[in-house]
Amino acid sequence: MSDDTWAGVRERVLRIAGHPGADKVFGARGHGFRLTPVLDEERLRALEADLGIGLPAQYRSFLLHVAGGGAGPDYGLMTPVLGDDGWQWTGTGLTYPAKPTTAEFAGRPFTAEALHNEIAALDAQEPQRDAHATEDEFLHAHAAWDARYEELYDAQEAGAVFLAEQGCGYASLMVMTGPHRGAIWEDLRPADGGIEPTGHGFAHWYQSWLERTEQQLGVTPPARTG
């Protein structure tokens, strides 16, 4: 990932904060166009050690040259921070943070696609009262089914970071492991969907948001030199 991908991006984001109408941009009340400090190379390597894999190149370059988190799509980007139990992504400076993600959890295999199909099959097998001789048998069978359903539901999140809260329970995730590593997916489960791909990587996702925001406010980005 070329460093010039992010040339001037931090300055463009911060410039929007004082522009008339900036507070009307969707998600602005969540991040206020504030950005957290960048992460240096030493901290990035420490994060990757906890993660167990290198960060996706586009995102790693962003952390090094733009910010750890803050202003971004929807209600803003979660920030990787080092706590007592290791690295995790938290809602530093955000009014409406997404779900925290530990580096250990994000470094697990990403199997959301397969699990979505398994959940669909399990959903069709939900125990019915008339198939059991007694109420106790039914309750026992349903409790076991429900426990398995919750286990599979939660396991869909493994191998990804909850990167931004969209509102109403929806979120944008970034896949950290496997063939989809670096891609942005959406958690559509509140609408009875699954965790679905957007078809875009981090750089496209973030820069498209910045360009849309500038267009909405009538802000002309500075000309690039070189």
Neighbours of 124 (CB within 10 A): 6
pLDDT in tens, 21-38: 999 999 999 999 999 999
What are the structure tokens assigned to 30, written together?
């969540």
pLDDT in tens, 117-133: 877 787 778 889 888 88
pLDDT bracket for residue 1 (50, 70, 90): very low
**Higher per-residue pLDDT: 2 or 141:** 141
Model confidence, pTM: 0.87
What are the structure tokens assigned to 80, written together?
């990787």
- CA angle, 132 as apex, 127 and 137 as ends, to 5°? 85
Backbone angles phi, psi at 185, to 5 degrees: -120, 160
Stretch 89-105: mean pLDDT: 96
Mean pLDDT in the chain?
91
163, containing H or E segment: strand 160-167
Q: Is the pLDDT of residue 134 over 80?
A: yes
Sign of CA dihedral 195, 199, 203, 205: negative
* Closest CA relative to residue 161, chosen from 90, 220, 95: 90
Residue ranges of the domains in the chain?
Answer: 3-105+202-217
Q: Is the pLDDT of residue 6 over 80?
A: yes
pLDDT in tens, 169-189: 999 999 999 999 999 999 998
Q: Is the pLDDT of residue 224 over 70?
A: no
Q: How close are the terminal C-alpha atoms of the chain, in Å?
A: 17
**Distance (Å, whole) CA 61 – CA 57:** 6
**Distance (Å, whole) CA 175 – CA 182:** 5
- Strand 195-201, strand 86-90: pairing: unpaired
Distant-in-sequence, close-in-space partners of 97: CB < 8 Å, separation ≥ 6: 75, 78, 90, 91, 165
